[in-house]
Amino acid sequence: MPTLREVPAEAEIASHQLMLRAGLMRKLASGIYAFLPLGYRTFRKIEQIVREEMDRAGALELVMSSILPAEYYIASGRWEVFGPEMFRLKDRNKRDFCLGPTHEEIFTEIVKNEIRSYRALPLILYQIQTKFRDEIRPRFGVMRCREFVMKDAYSFDRDEEGLDVSYRKMHDAYCRIFDRCGLDYIVVEADSGSMGGSGSEEFMVKSDIGEADIAYCEKCRYAANVEKAECIPVPCCMDSEGDASAGREDVSVERVATPNVRTIEELMVFFNSRPDQFAKTLIYRADDKYIAAMARGDREINETKLKNFLGCIELELADSEAVKKITRAEVGFAGPIGLDIDIIIDREVEMMKNFVVGANETGYHLINVNVYKDFKPTAVIDLRNITDGDRCPRCGASVSISKGIEVGHIFKLGTKYSRALNCVYLDENGQERVMVMGSYGIGIARTMAAIIEQGHDENGIIWPFEVAPYHVIIVPVNQSNEVQVDVAENIYAQLMKEGIEALIDDRDERPGVKFKDADLIGIPIRINVGRKAEEGIVELKMRSSGELREIKVEDVPAEVMRIMGECMGTRGK
């Protein structure tokens, strides 16, 4: 239990700091951590909750290897799709392998070889196993690391209706898991991204340090990842005089000198107008092709939507060299007129009238531009990020945006992997049919960190009973007082007999040090054995509320059990 007094400089967020300070884990390399005994106890408890709920849902546990042959990922196309995120290696015979980043292909391969008949379906298999992803930006400790344990489950069904049932089972199991972990979470619609398939949801723990943005509607409870949330275009037809009813399309494009005016902010000052009178044009590299994407000046382009539309593997902003070549101008003056690459515009841009764009000429912008009249977009799509105050795509009320930590993700995969790997079964009529699949993941250590994000104070972690490394910590105040040590040992033995997980701090340290450490490691109940031990009285302190009271030694086990029953009973077990 090597606790630290100092806050480690590398750790920016509470859970990362506390996991290091409480001696739960240590860093070995960027995004690579070892769990120490105290941390591993909680880790295993979360694993066990996940296991119990998977078993309850009828899933069967197995375990795959971590080193996986390339061929299955080549067959699905993901050998390429994963790009540099995949850890790759060659064996002595120069054959390609990877360290498994996720196992859709491998489960599909196993099931394909073992299951022949419709009678064996549906089937849900899962494992709790180490995954490897060479993340671009490992950060926040075990929240985003490069080696991490995931529970991944895969369902195999005869048809879409079957998939719906399996998916619902996993959805409900996830709710029970995160309820039991004591988390405040919401389920949001998510992008299926490179996984393919027809639908997916993420389990988001509400937290300001979360990396995901969630759009939420109070009125109809619609919730979606901003990557996915559909945007209702807001018409804006202001002309240069600020007249909202304007529609003066008879005006023609004019070239205006705008020396050193590049950003939307600079343009607003220069033209003395609002950001929604500009359309920005960004040049992207999509695999080996360049494209232009346009949105209103005050909007953010949603790269997930753009990527899904283009169906490309890699998408990134073009570098300045490429921008200069394509626009024949310095960066900051790109516009749609005269570009000879595809131009994808947001639906709002189509509605804009007489707006300002870059002129593809250094130091110039064009005013009075209108879509169709002045340039022809390749496609008009929903291309922007939803923002605070936007209208809910379901009910039209106003949505708000908040941050979340994605702890779990469930997907309807459909037949993407079963088709690629020819995972088929024979139906009642002896007809060969492709299995319909789902995939379901939970990050164990990320869940652990999320529990700490939601459960801590300035003194340390506040574990819920379900995942606390121990339920009770007994602190003999003076280790050289024999009565105190005896009473402490006695309480310890009593608790252990009742199946309560107790820890006794028998270090020869000052009481202040022991109390501080007990608070830091977040054990829910602390029993202080001090001077009154001679009268058979000890103190019971609740970590969560700070409530402290005296209690008779012989009442300790019953009182601890009562408290635990009360706290754990309120969870959705």
CB of 381 to ligand ATP, least distance (A): 23
Could you tell me the two tokens for 528? 């202080």
Compare residues 157 and 406 and give the one whose CB is closer to ligand ATP: 406
Per-residue string for binding with ligand ATP, 76-105, x by CB under 6 A?
Answer: --------------------------x---
**Comparing C-alpha atoms, which of 473, 488, 541, 454 is closest to residue 1?**
473
Burial 324-353 (b: 16+ CB within 10 A, else e): bebbebebbbbbbeebeeebbbbbbbbebb
Length of the chain equals 573
**Candidate list 148, 178, 470, 492; residue touching ligand ATP; CB under 6 A:** 148
Is the alpha carbon torsion for 531, 537, 541, 546 positive or negative? negative
Q: Which of 332/408 has CB closer to ligand ATP?
A: 408
Q: Which stretch binds ligand ATP (CB under 6 A): 86-94, 145-153, 327-335, 533-541?
A: 145-153
Question: ∠ CA(128), CA(132), CA(134), 5° rounding?
Answer: 155
39 scored as a contact of ligand ATP (CB under 6 A): no
Applying CB under 6 A, what is the total number of residues that bind ligand ATP? 15
Query: How far is residue 377's CA from residue 16's CA, in Å, rounded to a whole number?
Result: 47
Closest CB 142 distance from ligand ATP, rounded Å: 6
- Binding to ligand ATP by residue 441, rule CB under 6 A? yes
- Rounded Cα distance between 317 and 168, Å, is 38
Distance CA 421, CA 104 (A): 10
| CA gap 128, 44 in Å, rounded | 11
Could you tell me the smallest distance in angstroms from the CB atom of residue 427 to ligand ATP?
31
145 binds ligand ATP (CB under 6 A): yes
Between 102 and 354, name the residue whose CB sits nearer to ligand ATP. 102
> Taking CB under 6 A as the rule, does residue 541 contact ligand ATP?
no
Out of 446, 456, 471, 526, which residue is the one contacting ligand ATP (CB under 6 A)?
Answer: 446
CB of 104 or CB of 239, closer to ligand ATP:
104
133 lies in the binding site for ligand ATP (CB under 6 A) = yes
In sequence order, the 6+-apart residues with CB closer than 8 A to the CB of 572 are: 175, 176, 179, 180
Residue closer to ligand ATP (CB basis): 147 or 239: 147
Helix residue spans in 335-384 (DSSP H): 347-351
Stretch that binds ligand ATP, among 119-127, 143-151, 499-507, 561-569 (CB under 6 A): 143-151
* Nearer residue to ligand ATP within complex by CB, 175 or 331: 175
Q: Which is nearer to ligand ATP, 97 or 148 (CB)?
A: 148
- Which of 100, 122, 408, 414 binds ligand ATP (CB under 6 A)? It is 408
Q: Which residue has the closest beta carbon to ligand ATP?
A: 443
Residues within window 505-534 making contact with ligand ATP, judged by CB under 6 A: none
Residue 255 burial (CB count, 10 A): 11
> Can you name the residues that pair with 503 across neighbouring β-strands?
473
Instruction: Kindly give, in sequence order, each residue whose CB lies less than 8 Å from that of residue 130, ignoring residues fewer than 6 positions away.
Output: 66, 147, 148, 149, 150
CA atoms within a 13 Å half-sphere pointing along the CA-CB vector of 257: 1
Q: Which of the stretches 14-22, 34-42, 179-187, 404-412 binds ligand ATP when contact is defined by CB under 6 A?
A: 404-412
Give residues in contact with ligand ATP (CB under 6 A): 102, 133, 135, 144-145, 148, 150, 406-409, 441-443, 446
